[in-house]
Structure 1
Amino acid sequence: MSETTYKEGQSVSYKPVGGPESNTAESIGKITRVITESETGGNTGVRVRASAEAPRSEVPPVLSRTLGGSAGRRTGAKPVNEYNPGSAFPGVIGRTTDVSSPAWPEQPGAVPGSPNVVIIVLDDTGYGQFGCYGSPMQTPSLDGLAADGLLYNNMHTTALCSPSRSCIMTGRNHHANAMAAITEMSTGYPGYNGNIPFENGFLSEMLLQHGYSTYMVGKWHLTPTEQESPAGPYTRWPLGRGFERFYGFLGGDTNQWYPELVYDNHQVDPPASPEQGYHLTADLADKARLFISDAKQVDPDKPFFLYFCPGATHAPHHVPREWADRYRGQFDDGWDAYREVTFANQKRLGVAPPDAVLSPRDPDVPAWDSLSPDARRLAARMMEVYAGFLSHTDHQIGRLLDFLKETGELDNTLIMVVSDNGASAEGGVTGTTNEAQFFNNAPETIEESIKAIDELGGPTTFNHYPWGWTWAGNTPFRRWKRETYRGGASDPFLVHWPRGIIARGEVRTQYAHLVDIVPTVLDVLGIEPPDTIKGVTQSPLHGVSFAHTFDSPTAPTLHRTQYFEMLGHRAIDHDGWRAVCPWPGPSFAEARQPFGTPITSETLSELDAHSWELYHVDEDFAETRDVVADYRIKLIEMVSLWYVEAGKYGVLPIDGSTLARMSVERPQIAKVRTSYTFRPSTQTLPSSVAPRVLNRPHSITADVEVPADGAEGVLMSQGSMAGGWTFYIKDGKLTYVHNYVRRAFYTVSSTDPVPVGRHELRFEFEPTDKPDLAAGKGVPGRAQLYLNRRLVAVANFPVTTPIMFNPGGLTCGANPGQPVTSDYQSPFRFTGKLHSATIDLSGELITDADSEMRMHLARQ
């Protein structure tokens, strides 16, 4: 950093960076303010603000961080008179233009030399899964950023995706963002309703006001799920929150081979098929490069903010086979060996302290040697697929970095890389070929999974590894995503900015949380948090800048206190101490209640009295020694502080439930009704706004015309090969298929073809027993097909999907993306004329006893 003393009123000049030695210093203007060390928390880097516009060329980093105002306009053009919008018009208005003087509303312009900002957010990636954090998995692009930048070993998340992403974007805590959990679990309390307040502005909105291009590419998951449909409102979609361009998906995950894509505010199909080499992560990297290139070819000096969020490494772990095959045999020693190797590497690399102790075996994770040969073979292959997925993602990030380097932007781009939470245990103890089974309480057996071992990672699976690999991926910490132990809430964090950071390849140990990212970016850019955005008065930021740590490994930690709450699981960090209150227990094996059990007032009192644990993490990096017995007064102080923070940020009421929150009634865009009519021109509806047909009587009625040469195709479908249903005509026959979490396909089909002409085609489902949700079984029932209200087919379905389809989009007239059944190829659009299709949930079913009796007699 410069050692020059700056004073208010002093003239400021500079020479263009990289110019000839004889260059004459050019005047910028006079300093209007010097920001003191006390205002930056002891940061010794110089911060100044200058009064006049700088010429349009490169500014030294020390000034590019701090110059305010509307610089950044073209040089060489005739000067124009500009004024701040909302202030008095400074020109002259006469009776005619010859006696008038024009003036223009000032357009936002970035300070010359301002760095680009790129925030890369991976999904469900653990602390011990980057190569530069000790993992044996190959991440050369991320490792390169670390070698030329900084690694942080004390960055914290909320332990779940949407809440974490809200912190990254706003600089406010997740309950204050109304994002206590994922948007699909919103409830009717201020900290839980899923509607991020507009007074909590996004970084994109802030930088847009300062002349930045703003791009969002990849996973969003910050819109209330019931607002993701074509009916909007679009105010909480990316373009409504300060991003000028968006390409990605709105929900929590998507099929990497057949993604549910949105471009700006409308749905689009993927540009190619898996057979043509398509994969989502590569597509996202292409779009990020395109967005940057589009603006740079017009205004090469305009900085950009890119929020790049691949769906990786969230399930499904989809990757081209050749990437998975690179890891053949490398995980045959199992997760216990992985932890030992990774932990040794972490100490060698300095991302774990020399005196750190590896957390003990988790009671929920079986020893590798205790598994059967088939279980070991399956688990090893699932990890090979995951490793290939991570390396493939790293490669696509590398393509983005290569593009920045080719265009001369890399050195002056502030890049931050983080994961939204620890590695995920949603694959269960054995892993799964279809994550939808986990969400439907219907895990498959090892024998069933092993049959699909050669398909793992490909388009026919929706796979997730066993939670033994989750535990290993969070080395050296305990537990995982959704829990507030460090395994769920601590993640790798990289910062790279060659032009602004002197240090290279160093580890930073200062405490940080995702809410600190926005304050840090603003600090680096010399931008004050805005008072208003779009006329809405802004709330204070909750995070603090850690920019003072960039060039000082011994700089003090400024973030001293941070609470955590996720699905009733609580924790608090304060000055090197950490208190944790697990719910429903330290592990599933030790819990007295099943995961997702609601917390009553009586239960909470019991938890506060007996279930808090205490760790001195300044001396116990991985939470291995509960010292509550020795520091009872300290624990009482920490629990009291948790309640202070909870009151401050809207954490109450504490809610430990999961399934109950998923199924709660929420305000809908349209009034609740029992009849829904669709037409084939409409877009795919997300499951949150689609009619809910599970576990209830319902019918689907299609009004069609079959031409003389016949017709085929889908009349209506929902879901994918991971689970769903489809109603279609093929080979002239009317057919309905229910895909039960990819494990079984239940079909009812007519014997005779649908004749030429206009017809009413109808499917009816009538439950014959009750569901058993805990056992992963939806209602059994009788499935019936009708042609012009005449029964033409009937079948009994022994079980149906109990809880949800994932993916769960509903489409009229086609099955876009991955087909629900292998009986046809997508999109299998209906080739006749489909006037409309109506889903009825009233329970009013057709009775055609005579036709039913004839059919039964014919089958004897």
Structure 2
Amino acid sequence: MNQFFLSVTLTALAFSTAVAQQKPRASAKSTADKPNIILVMVDDLGYSDFGAYGSEIQTPTIDKLAREGLRLREFYNNSICAPTRASLITGQYHHKAGVGYFNVNLGLPAYQGWLNKESLTFGEVLKQAGYRTYLSGKWHVGNDSLYWPKQRGFDRFYGFINGASNYYDISPYKEKAPPVELVEDNKRINLEPGKYLTDEITNHALSYINESKSAPFFLYLAYNAPHWPLQAPAEDIAKYKDRYAIGWDSLRKERLVKQIKLGIADPKQAIAAHDPEVVSWESLTYDEQQLWQRKMEVYAAMVDHVDQSLARLLAELKRLNLEDNTLIVLISDNGAQGGLIPTGRKRPRSSGPIGSAGSYDYQEQNWAYVSNTPFRNYKATPYEGGISAPFIAWYPKKIKAGIIAKGTAHLIDLAPTFYDLAGAKYPDTFNGVKTNPLPGLSLTNLLFQGTALPADRPIFWERAGNRAVRKGKWKIVSIFPQNKWQLFDLEADRGETTDLATKHPEIVSELNVDYETWAKRTDVEPYEKLRPVSQGLPGGNAGANQNRSATRIE
């Protein structure tokens, strides 16, 4: 055994021994009636990309979950991959968890780039309540092996550690190309040639469910689809041939009509204006239209394939007679990916056609403008298009079918929800370390009784100098480097089309005080103090122009 794997093994052994000493595993009797919990996260998927939220993409399984469960109109993430995952996994605002910027170390505890010990993961807490804990897919909250999932409470892990991955082994497409690097538990492995990563993530999730035996399980199923690069099986791409010949302008209108019909969008709501950087479809040449159609065909195929994977998941739950006692929650980590702003990072060069193993293309703002219907802007900004996610909860035993609720919930609410449902106590100390208290609210009353969350509860955002506060119907937004608050009435204008800051300065002042109090409590630093200079780091100047799209980031 080499030094690296010996270090990892000893660390894992020490961790599991400490956990075992802290609290004995719950008995089978005490866990018999506890529900299984499956948390599904997709990557870089816009608010309207599921059929149940207005899309033309074929997502019959996801639509079934929505039809038989509950959807929220207003569920928020942190606008970008790593900060979202830090909040999700720990129930903390991402600065408090140690990932204030990204999975890179900017020299302060709140910006160290990995999950700190004070912020406990789903795995650490639910294991103490008798759960088997599994993660299949993307980690992205700590690259060092000391902070991998097995060291943070997960019994089993399969997936990749960093922020992006090819979906196929690309060695046939590039001379001396590196293989797709994955990790299973604490062992580095490679994706087998001919395998599709979405399928392998699903395969391991199904095997983990079968391992759980009589114990309840928690499964975090973190797909990287439809995150770039655009790669999908040919048969899935073929299903969308010519579907996108109508172009993005017409498709956005089509999705909005469907959203209104579904009850997802309010016909009285103002919607975001046409992004000035999204060119008219009719202005493109025939060849340009063909190229752009292909991008969206592949993107749709990637979402479609996730839906097929979830069909397999539901079939396995049914086969194991687990479907009536399993909660499934499905969300996205941020809005759809926009375009490029220079940051020193070079755009990867494709060595194969769009959709193939050698493709490094991505959706870009023209189609992301459709994915985020009816909202403004993209991933990496705190406008609604960057932080709004679909939210579907399915639990036949407890959730009534066909519910569409306002919600106004955030990632930080999922941990207390799951712990409430599992009967898990969030400890004041863990392994001798005082834990950060959970700032979120349990959603169990909202999900099971339809009880609304407190309307005056503020929700906060800060990332790379971009800031926002949502409180009741009001929302303030400030984009770096302008650092000037805008004010929107989201009950009438969720498209954020009309800035009311000069009309209601007293509201801006009140929300600014709330923000400053939260920022101090959460260890947020002024972005000017630690702003990465060049280095090609993700989102270093994302949002410098509020009408531009976000940097291409993981």
User: Which residue among 588, 598, 616 is the counterpart of 2:489?
Assistant: 616
2:508 is aligned to 635
Give the whole-Å Cα distance in 1 for the aligned partners of 2:496 and 2:379: 16
The Cα of 1:273 is off from its aligned counterpart by 1.5
The Cα of 1:441 is off from its aligned counterpart by 3.8
Give the whole-Å Cα distance in 2 for the aligned partners of 1:349 and 1:622: 18
The runs of 5 or more residues in structure 2 that have no matched partner are 1-19, 170-179, 539-552
2:11 is aligned to none
1:289 pairs with 2:223: no
Change (3 A) 1:659 1:420: farther
Q: 1:187·1:661 contact (CA, 8 Å) conserved in 2?
A: no
Secondary structure of residue in 2 paired with 1:158: coil
Deviation by residue 1:135-165 (Cα, 9 ceiling, x = unmatched): 1111111111101110011110110111111
Alignment of 1:368-447 (within 5 A): 368-426=281-339, 428=340, 440-441=345-346
2:188 is aligned to 267
Change (3 A) 1:145 1:222: same
The Cα of 1:629 is off from its aligned counterpart by 2.4
2:5 is aligned to none
1:192 is aligned to 111
Secondary structure of residue in 2 paired with 1:126: coil
The one-letter code sitting in structure 2 at the alignment partner of 1:295 is: S
Alignment of 1:525-536 (within 5 A): 525-536=422-433
Deviation by residue 1:824-854 (Cα, 9 ceiling, x = unmatched): xxxxxxxxxxxxxxxxxxxxxxxxxxxxxxx
Change (3 A) 1:394 1:528: same
Give the whole-Å Cα distance in 1 for the aligned partners of 2:368 and 2:532: 21
Q: 1:544·1:559 contact (CA, 8 Å) conserved in 2?
A: no
2:153 is aligned to 242
Give the whole-Å Cα distance in 2 for the aligned partners of 1:518 and 1:106: 20
The one-letter code sitting in structure 2 at the alignment partner of 1:286 is: N
Alignment of 1:147-186 (within 5 A): 147-184=67-104, 186=105
2:3 is aligned to none
Give the whole-Å Cα distance in 1 for the aligned partners of 2:246 and 2:220: 37
Of the structure 1 ranges 332-341 and 524-533, higher mean CA displacement relative to structure 2 is found in 524-533
Alignment of 1:598-617 (within 5 A): 607-608=482-483, 611-617=484-490
Secondary structure of residue in 2 paired with 1:191: helix
2:164 is aligned to 253
1:216 pairs with 2:114: no
Q: TM-score, normalised by structure 2?
A: 0.87
The runs of 5 or more residues in structure 1 that have no matched partner are 1-83, 88-104, 430-436, 585-606, 665-805, 808-860
Alignment of 1:750-761 (within 5 A): none
1:853 is aligned to none
Give the whole-Å Cα distance in 2 for the aligned partners of 1:534 and 1:165: 23
1:660 pairs with 2:534: yes
Change (3 A) 1:658 1:324: farther
Q: TM-score, normalised by structure 1?
A: 0.57
- Indicate the structure whose relative CO is greater, using CA pairs within 8 Å and at least 6 residues apart: 2
Q: 1:512·1:559 contact (CA, 8 Å) conserved in 2?
A: no
Give the whole-Å Cα distance in 2 for the aligned partners of 1:207 and 1:157: 22
Give the whole-Å Cα distance in 2 for the aligned partners of 1:460 and 1:532: 48
Give the whole-Å Cα distance in 2 for the aligned partners of 1:137 and 1:410: 25
Secondary structure of residue in 1 paired with 2:389: strand
Give the whole-Å Cα distance in 1 for the aligned partners of 2:403 and 2:162: 36
Q: 1:581·1:613 contact (CA, 8 Å) conserved in 2?
A: yes
Change (3 A) 1:559 1:305: farther
Give the whole-Å Cα distance in 2 for the aligned partners of 1:86 and 1:627: 53
Q: 2:98·2:114 contact (CA, 8 Å) conserved in 1?
A: yes
Secondary structure of residue in 1 paired with 2:386: helix
Q: 2:468·2:475 contact (CA, 8 Å) conserved in 1?
A: yes
The one-letter code sitting in structure 2 at the alignment partner of 1:491 is: A
Aligned residues: 509
The Cα of 1:422 is off from its aligned counterpart by 0.5
Give the whole-Å Cα distance in 1 for the aligned partners of 2:448 and 2:424: 20
User: Which residue among 46, 50, 63 is the counterpart of 1:126?
Assistant: 46
Give the whole-Å Cα distance in 2 for the aligned partners of 1:442 and 1:114: 47
Alignment of 1:88-127 (within 5 A): 109=28, 110-127=30-47
The Cα of 1:86 is off from its aligned counterpart by 7.6
2:66 is aligned to 146
Alignment of 1:616-765 (within 5 A): 616-655=489-528, 657=531, 660=534, 662=536
Q: 1:366·1:468 contact (CA, 8 Å) conserved in 2?
A: yes
The one-letter code sitting in structure 1 at the alignment partner of 2:345 is: N
Q: 1:216·1:238 contact (CA, 8 Å) conserved in 2?
A: yes
Change (3 A) 1:637 1:282: same
Q: 1:511·1:560 contact (CA, 8 Å) conserved in 2?
A: no
Q: 1:133·1:346 contact (CA, 8 Å) conserved in 2?
A: yes
The Cα of 1:651 is off from its aligned counterpart by 1.2
Secondary structure of residue in 1 paired with 2:468: strand
Give the whole-Å Cα distance in 2 for the aligned partners of 1:392 and 1:657: 38
Q: 1:108·1:210 contact (CA, 8 Å) conserved in 2?
A: no
The one-letter code sitting in structure 2 at the alignment partner of 1:515 is: I
Secondary structure of residue in 2 paired with 1:510: strand
Change (3 A) 1:350 1:384: same
Secondary structure of residue in 1 paired with 2:136: strand
Structure number, greater radius of gyration: 1
Give the whole-Å Cα distance in 2 for the aligned partners of 1:203 and 1:302: 16
Give the whole-Å Cα distance in 2 for the aligned partners of 1:152 and 1:543: 17
Secondary structure of residue in 1 paired with 2:514: helix
The one-letter code sitting in structure 2 at the alignment partner of 1:614 is: L
Change (3 A) 1:106 1:268: closer
Change (3 A) 1:420 1:615: same
Give the whole-Å Cα distance in 1 for the aligned partners of 2:65 and 2:344: 36
Change (3 A) 1:106 1:257: closer
Give the whole-Å Cα distance in 2 for the aligned partners of 1:618 and 1:397: 34
Work out the percentage of aligned pairs sharing the same amino acid. Answer: 34
Change (3 A) 1:151 1:541: same
Change (3 A) 1:580 1:121: same
Secondary structure of residue in 2 paired with 1:113: coil
Deviation by residue 1:256-275 (Cα, 9 ceiling, x = unmatched): 002311110011122x322x
Q: 1:85·1:106 contact (CA, 8 Å) conserved in 2?
A: no
Change (3 A) 1:558 1:615: closer
Secondary structure of residue in 1 paired with 2:109: coil
The Cα of 1:663 is off from its aligned counterpart by 6.4
Instruction: Judging by fraction of residues, say which structure has more helix.
Output: 2
The one-letter code sitting in structure 2 at the alignment partner of 1:199 is: E
The Cα of 1:612 is off from its aligned counterpart by 1.5
Please identify runs of 4+ aligned residues in structure 1 that moved more than 6 A.
84-87
1:539 pairs with 2:436: yes
Q: 2:398·2:448 contact (CA, 8 Å) conserved in 1?
A: no
